Amino acid sequence: MRSATDIAAAVRAGRESAVSVAAAALAALRADSHGAVTRLLAERAMAEAAEVDARIARGEDPGLLAGVPYAVKDLFDVAGLPTTAGSAARAKGPAARVDAEAVQRLQAQGAVLCATLNMDAFAYGFATVNADYGTTRNPHGATRLAGGSSGGSAAAVAAGLVPLALGSDTNGSVRVPASLCGLYGLRPARGDLPLAGAFPFAESFDEIGPFAASLADLTLVWDVLRGGAPLPSRAAPRIARLGGRFRENADPAQLAAIDAIAPEAPLIELPDVPRARSAAFVITAYEGGHLHREALSADPFFYDPAVRDRLIAGALLPDALYRKALAFRADYIAQIEALVADHDVLLAPSAPCTAPLIADPMILIDGEMSPARANLGIHTQPITFTALPVLAMPLKRPGQLPLGLQLIGKPGREGALLRLAAELENRSITGVTMPAGAFAGEMT
């Protein structure tokens, strides 16, 4: 697969036109066999690419992402189109007047928007099994889930259809599919990346984040979305390994990698992890349910059956329980800040296993087979609760199904995550292995 970094360099240098790159990406997206694409934006993509070429012809700077094709989860506003949020019923609604702010920032740097991508309806799930748009299949195995709710975004990058894609992460919806599809993904610190124009799920936890097949690409798109690079880390990061529940329900290969990365690092336990996850469930369900409460009352059959009952249950949660969960979270964050004060990076598993089978979406949790859709976030959801930034990275596993880790950092110190991730790539502990048949997009 060609990287975004390579494409931008070739287009900026005039070795290739943005129009030819866009045409190749559109052809790959049109031939998608993974259920990743919901709408192809061919006319828009060719117009944006032509504008990049025109800028270069005028001697202007086309931007850091000149001619780089990308796609977005179908909850980002795209001017002139309805924002479906994974629901075909919303496809008949009003069109967005302007692009989401994240889309505007990428376009300003020369990136070319080519498609919208599949997701769990209203971002409620870890599977990308959608009653309207179908199930997104994992490019590493067509019989397996891609994860969710940003599964279409992860699959599009893993399949080589585009080098970059945007998703969103409420309780793990970037980190879980990044793990199952073998990619880099990012959940930023609160307020780090722009949420304007992204359809909400749970306001307390929602963040947007990119997927990429290389660390250099992820760093580049992160810099563009943030409006500036994170502060560099000049010192070796102080690492800790998360113990307790994070050593349970994990693949042995994840634990072996964590121990190989930092064998002398202290093993620390976050307090009340099961309670934190339960409180996250309450906050998510309450906020999601109340967001949709009026529409549910008017027409419950508007909703995907897989999410309708959970949204109704959330809408019925008592206010007092929600306030109690919020108060617990405030206290919990204060505890975590004190606990991790002496560490720059915490190591933990991402999804607890490789991609489950679509036909039998169950995973082993605490010795029993449990639904994947609810439990793939067992290690990501408690980290969401801490409000810390997370870089998801893939273990290097040629010929095997992907597994991923979480590098958990501190707001404003994401440079430490990038430094450690680069070191681990150099040590061949982590790195993307593309599935056979991924589109290479060679220059013509």
Q: Report the helix count and the strand count for the chain, using DSSP H and E.
A: 15, 17
The answer to whether 186 touches 217, Cβ cutoff 8 Å, is no
Helix H, strand E, coil C: the string for 139-184 is: CCEEEEECCCCCHHHHHHHHCCCCCEEEEEECCCCCHHHHHHHCCE
The answer to whether 157 touches 117, Cβ cutoff 8 Å, is no
From 173, 179, 204, 233, the catalytic residue: 173
Q: Please say if 73 is a catalytic residue.
A: yes
Q: What is the residue whose two structure tokens read 């597994």?
A: 403
For residue 167 the two structure tokens come to: 């998703």
Q: How far apart are CA 83 and CA 43, in angstroms?
A: 18
For residue 225 the two structure tokens come to: 């979305």
For residue 292 the two structure tokens come to: 């949709």
Count other C-beta atoms under 10 Å from residue 92's C-beta: 9
Please name the helix (run of DSSP H) or strand (run of DSSP E) that holds residue 268, with its range, or none: strand 267-268
Within 13 Å, how many C-alpha atoms sit on residue 288's CB side?
27
Q: How far apart are CA 49 and CA 51, in angstroms?
A: 5
- Closest residue by Cα to residue 386 from 284, 281, 277: 277
Please name the helix (run of DSSP H) or strand (run of DSSP E) that holds residue 368, with its range, or none: strand 368-371
The answer to whether 17 touches 11, Cβ cutoff 8 Å, is yes
Peptide bond between residue 149 and the one before it cis (omega within 30 degrees of 0): yes
The answer to whether 77 touches 98, Cβ cutoff 8 Å, is yes
86: left (phi over 0), alpha (psi -120 to 50) or beta: left
From 3, 17, 73, 87, the catalytic residue: 73
Cross-strand bridge partners of residue 211: 165, 185
Q: 404 vs 176, 211, 371, 432, CA distance in Å?
A: 8, 13, 20, 10
Sign of CA dihedral 212, 210, 193, 65: positive
Q: Please say if 149 is a catalytic residue.
A: yes
- Closest residue by Cα to residue 287 from 316, 309, 314: 314
From 149, 179, 204, 350, the catalytic residue: 149
Count other C-beta atoms under 10 Å from residue 319's C-beta: 9
Q: Please say if 173 is a catalytic residue.
A: yes
For residue 4 the two structure tokens come to: 């975004």
- Active-site residue set: 73, 149, 173
